[in-house]
Amino acid sequence: MNKLLLGAACACLVSGCNQAPPVSQQGAAPAAPAPISGIDVQYVDDSVRAQDDFFKHLNGKWLSATEIPADKASYGSFTKLYDDSQDQLRSIVEGLQASTAAKDADQQKIADLYASYMDEPALEGLGLGPLDKEFARIDALKDKKEIAGLIAHFNRIGITAPYTPGVHQDAKDSTKYVFDLGQDGLGMPDRDYYLQHEEKMEQARKQYGLYVEKMLGLAGDKNAAKDSKDIVALETDLAKIQWTKVANRDPVKTYNKVMVAKLDGLAADYDWKAYLIDSGVEGKTDYVIVSQPSYISGFGKLLQKTPLPVWKAYFRWQVLNDLAPYLSKSFVDERFAFYGTVLQGIPQNRPRWKRGITLVEGSVGESLGKLYVAQYFPPAAKARMDQLVQNLLAAYKADIDTLDWMSPQTKLKAQEKLAKFTTKIGYPAKWRDYGALQVAKNDLVGNVIRARAFEYNRNLDKLGKPIDRDEWGMTPQTVNAYYNPELNEIVFPAAILQPPFFNPKADDAVNYGGIGGVIGHEISHGFDDQGSQYDGDGNLLSAPGWFTQQDLDKFKAKTHALVEQYAAYEPVPGYHVNGELTLGENIADNSGLAIAYKAYRLSLGGKEAPTIDGLSGDQRFYGGWAQVWRGKSRDNALIVRIKTDPHSPESIRGTAPEMNQAPFYEAFGVKEGDKMYLPPEKRVNLW
């Protein structure tokens, strides 16, 4: 999970008119051939002033004419590229199936895994049979002491359990991997869905209980009504002791080193020895990181007070719910009816082939990505992206020395961290080895379980070994990008390097506003409220970290203003953006856009940009940013996002950052009285 003159419109500014002409009408096209602007001017809505709502002005016709597809919670630039990539991946996978040529081992696994998912008649005949082994394991529990071993098994095969482990770089020792434990165990998106009394939350709770009961009934549970109530009550008890999304953003508070020998003191009477043995951790590490110690302690108490039959019902439910997408149609449909329709308002499920491609991506994603890159990612795109990244890094380097909220001491540390950034573009330097994964053409649930266990074992095997700095956390076909503070790296998969993010045929302005803003966004995460707590090697520091205390206080004052600014937005009536939860991403959007603009101006070398499609270079730059976030969502999906997602909704991401940027005001003649206007003292500028 990161602005100068109007050209033909400047006359209007000099004469004192109240607004710049609408984007689609500014100036005449140059007589000589020129590079394309990259701006989708066909979507401009002239009835909305750029100075009042730039996002709607630029994207208005698209917003009015586009309906969210029936199988989606939202639709926009990201989902369009995702759909395109799905079509490309389908052609690759189905091409492998149709080919009579010899396939290598990974290609055969791709073809067989997809075939196992697409064989619906076979799944109808199997019923619940594929879950028999897991149900038998639960039924065999004789004592709550055995639950530790069951949770270890669930962790291995990716079934929801009260806590979930992870293996990653130790945040306080960047030379080694660590095993950590984090809260989990809920069937709804967040603790708020169990605890808050808003109407939407209460409706979701009621529907969830009915969903659990119906699914249990389909599975032959004669006590489905009672078991459903017990399961929801137990999940509610788990929700009560969980930390909030905001609390979990604090990397210092969630770093709690516990020696293996002292785990017994964390959850009374819990068999940690059995858990460590069955999870494969025994002997591989002397300590673990516990993200939420009070939750683990609370879980221990809850384990003791809750009867074994309730725990058995709970665990059976988690198996059924997590593996339902790979069972017969009745289970698939009921699961979608709740998670798709009730929670997100989606009328219909995605076509089966798309769900099959998703499974292949999640199981053997890099093998599929290797084929994707060979067909769809030209070397020239990577080369131009390399240059853009270097320009953004150079802009950050220059900007650090000008910041009024950093002291010379902190600036020196910031430069040291920036110099250690690692950039990954397109695809990994080495591809993942899936040799140990077994795939059978006629065993879908088995394939899913084995793929999850393969990934668990792959990560577990890292313990005690050097950090693999070549590893990627996303596949090349992922339409996204990320910054990893522990590795101090920015990563841009191949699939995002397409219009509207990156258009190799367009003038630089739109690319700096699009992918340049995304690059700047990701770099800025190294200096946001979370990333700034890590040094250049990825080590987590105690406050004030590499900041001086005075600088940290200045930084917090600026970011507090950003919290309040975003919290004022209300995407759904009664549901405001959580300014604290979204703070890091909002910092990144504002910082990324500001630095991308500076990098764009530096790239011009003192020359003025051409006017294309009647737009000045600065106007195309901001248009590039706003069209990247072109999108719309269903209200229920927005509510889920507001409760769980650290990113603000797209319409806000395409609007709020510009309001904090002085060059935007110059580019579009924004002045007091316009809806996009913020008084200078209320604009938040970090870079």
pLDDT in tens, 275-305: 999 999 999 999 999 999 999 999 999 999 9
- Give residue 5's pLDDT band: very low, low, confident or very high (50, 70, 90): very low
| 578 or 386, greater pLDDT | 578
Note the pLDDT of residue 293.
98
Three-class SS of residue 479? coil
pLDDT (0 to 100) of residue 34 = 58
Residue range 561-568: mean pLDDT, rounded:
97
pLDDT band at residue 31, thresholds of 50, 70 and 90? very low
SS3 label, residue 74: strand
Other beta carbons within 10 angstroms of residue 209's beta carbon come to: 16
CATH for the stretch 156-323: 1.10.1380.10
* pLDDT tens-digit readout, 317-373: 999 999 999 999 999 999 999 999 999 999 999 999 999 999 999 999 999 999 999
pLDDT score, position 17? 30
To 5 degrees, how large is the angle CA 607–CA 503–CA 33?
55
- The CA distances from residue 278 to 146, 259, 281, 329, 679, in Å, are 11, 18, 8, 34, 60
DSSP letters for 168-189:
EEETTEEEEEEEEEEE---SSS
Residues 497 and 372 sit within 8 Å (Cβ to Cβ): no
Averaged pLDDT score across all residues of the chain: 93
Quick check: 19 pLDDT over 60? no
- pLDDT above 90 coverage of the chain, percent: 91
Can you give the pLDDT at residue 381?
Answer: 83
| C-alpha closest to that of 547 among 677, 328, 400 | 400
Average pLDDT over residues 637-643: 97
Name 209's Cβ contacts closer than 8 Å, sequence gap at least 6: 228, 229, 232
pLDDT top residue among 30 and 593: 593
Q: Which fold has domain 63-70+378-428+467-682?
A: Collagenase (Catalytic Domain) (3.40.390)
Q: Average of pLDDT values for 593-600?
A: 97
Tokens of 5: 């003159």
> Does the pLDDT at position 25 exceed 60?
no
Spatial distance between the Cα atoms of 2 and 528, rounded to a whole number of angstroms = 10
- Cα-trace Rg, the chain: 26
Q: What value does the mean pLDDT take over residues 501-513?
A: 94
* pLDDT surpassing 90 at residue 21: no
For range 627-640, the mean pLDDT: 97
- Prediction pTM value: 0.91
Could you check whether 63-70+378-428+467-682 and 156-323 share the same CATH topology? Answer: no
Instruction: Count the neighbouring beta carbons within 10 Å of the beta carbon of residue 297.
Output: 17
337-to-67, 74, 329 alpha-carbon distances in Å:
20, 17, 12
Going by pLDDT thresholds of 50, 70 and 90, the confidence category of residue 666 is very high
In the structure, what pLDDT confidence band is assigned to residue 100 with cuts at 50, 70 and 90?
Answer: confident
- Residue 468's closest CA among 425, 422, 436? 422
Enumerate the domain spans of the chain. Answer: 63-70+378-428+467-682, 156-323
- The answer on pLDDT for 28 being more than 50 is no
pLDDT reading at 29 higher than 80: no
